[in-house]
Amino acid sequence: MTTSEDKFESVLSTRYCKNSPLVSILSETNKATLWRQLWIWLAEAEKELGLKQVTQEAIDQMKTEINHFDWPFIRSEERKLKHDVMAHNHAFGKICPLAAGIIHLGATSCFVQDNADLIAFRDSIDHILKRFATVIDRLATFSLTNKEVVTVGRTHYQTASLVTVGKRGVLWAQELLMAFQSLAQFRDQMRFRGIKGATGTQDSFLTLFGGDESKVEALDELVTKKADFKHRFLITGQTYSRQQDAQLVFSLSLLGAAAKKVCTDIRVLQAFGELLEPFEKDQIGSSAMPYKKNPMKSERCCSLARKLINAPQEALTILADQGLERTLDDSAGRRMLIPDVLLTAEALLTTLQNIFEGLSVQTENVKKIVEDEIAFLGLEKAMMMLTEEGVDRQQAHAVIRKTALEAKQLQATQKVDIRQTMADPFFDSVRDRVVGLVSNPINFTGRCVSQTVNFIDNELKPTIAKYLDQSAGNVQLDV
């Protein structure tokens, strides 16, 4: 007997997302069920608007049989017809003889294909937004917990003015929140294709309703409402504009870019010994070097993020290659691209949530690094104090630059003391004040604490509130 291990399957559905509802939402069965539901909604709306050939008995039979699939017959029909929609049409008509003559009445293939895709995309986005909100919430918790933990800032990857771990955390949160807002805005503005006919003219429906444009418009509105969409395309070709797909992909690519920035930072800081991503009890870091704790989860996130970052190029090409009212240049690419992008986003967010739920600060090492750098950071404070006393800012900068560079040379062989660094009489008027501040590094972090709290309370929490599932548990990764 052939097992799943004997054939290739997508690692997204079998490894990284196997427990995700997206696997079902994007499945072939759900797609086929949505096609049938769209045929039911179309028939209901046509009957409500007075089409005599659509009977309630036909609609009732379709509703009864909506989940009855004869997959061998469907596959056989598709092999013969080379047309998936007609294969499903025949299969549904076979088990719904009362409806066989009115299934798909007036519609073209993209009525079920495009509209079902949009419903599946919408449902996937709804799940992703909830997951995304949880991820941001976990990062907010980490940031608040560490809002007063002083650490060295780093510009150009070199030590810089002090910050707090919490402030750095909300910088990460802001990047993720902006990507979240882009996806939420896309979700709110998504448009349904509706009923548009073979080339977008709605001519077949106009014929069915005897030339009554108001009924065709009402039919479009009714089906859109039944599918629970607020917005619809007023005009299309055979398909809805693939620019909408590109906008979705771009929103998810922003998630990829933001997550890659965050996880690259975590990897760098773990290398510096400042942070440690969660490392499980029986986890092995290296088959050759048993002592290692590699940041493999952050590395995985960077790898997944790269897929999202590169995806817009394909989405843009699909849009650009869509000829006239419709060509099939989009078909195969969309079948792969958009489900893969949605599943990749889910895999990335799931891993990121696990990281934030277990991310720890190596406080002793962080403190040591701060102590090693505090003498130099005190000089920056000295420059501000000297200017308060009337010293020319450029003169102060020049003296401090010379003093700091000389002290840096000594740092490789000895601990640099702030009084020793400021021994030059030039610093006499401010030396004691600076030394007093150095004893408590939080004095060098500016508004880090208040900025952290303010951002979380006034921007982050209100933005994610309606999407956040307060009962969501912590993530345990299978791999």
Residue 146 lies in a domain: yes
Give the CATH number of the domain where residue 27 resides. Answer: 1.10.275.10
Query: What's the pLDDT tens digit per position in 412-426?
Result: 677 878 888 888 889
- The verdict on 193 and 300 lying in the same domain is yes
35 & 117 share domain: no
Domain co-membership, 83 together with 149? no
C-alpha separations of 318 from 223, 245, 248, 346, 366 in Å: 27, 9, 13, 23, 49
Q: What is the pLDDT of residue 439?
A: 84
Mean pLDDT of 256-274: 97
Same-domain status, 86 and 124: no
Q: Are 210 and 239 contained in the same domain?
A: yes
Q: Residues 118, 177: one domain?
A: yes
pTM, whole model, 2 decimals? 0.93
Domain membership flag for residue 244: yes
Tell me what pLDDT residue 407 has.
Answer: 80
- Residues 60 and 216: their CA atoms lie apart, in Å, by 23
Q: Which of 318, 337, 359 is the last residue before a domain boundary?
A: 359
**Catalytic option among 286, 331, 360, 450:** 286
| 273 backbone φψ class: left, alpha, beta (φ>0; ψ -120 to 50) | left
The tens digit of pLDDT for each residue in 282-317 reads 666 666 676 667 899 999 999 999 999 999 999 999
Residue 346 has pLDDT above 70, yes or no: yes
pLDDT at position 286: 65
Is 156 tagged catalytic?
yes
Is 159 found in the same domain as 307?
Answer: yes
Options 4, 156, 214, 287, the catalytic residue: 156
- Do 131 and 187 belong to one domain? yes
Domain with 427, as residue range(s), is: 365-439
Residue 202 has pLDDT above 90, yes or no: yes
Residue 286 lies inside a defined structural domain of this protein: no
Residue where one domain finishes, among candidates 302, 329, 359: 359
173 within a domain of the structure (yes/no): yes
pLDDT at 281 (0 to 100) = 67
For residue range 466-477, what is the model confidence (pLDDT) as tens digits? 999 999 999 888
What does the pLDDT read at residue 434? 86
DSSP string of 216-258?
HHHHHHHHHHHTT-SEE-S--SSS--THHHHHHHHHHHHHHHH
In a domain, 128, yes or no: yes
Tell me: do 91 and 177 sit in the same domain: no
Q: What mean pLDDT is reported for the chain?
A: 93
Q: Are residues 129 and 249 in the same domain?
A: yes
Q: Are 90 and 196 within one domain? A: no
- pLDDT for residue 326 is more than 90: yes
Does 27 participate in catalysis according to the annotation?
no
Angle between helices 165-189 and 109-145 (to 10 degrees): 160
Domain count, the chain: 3
Q: Which CATH number does the domain housing residue 135 bear?
A: 1.20.200.10
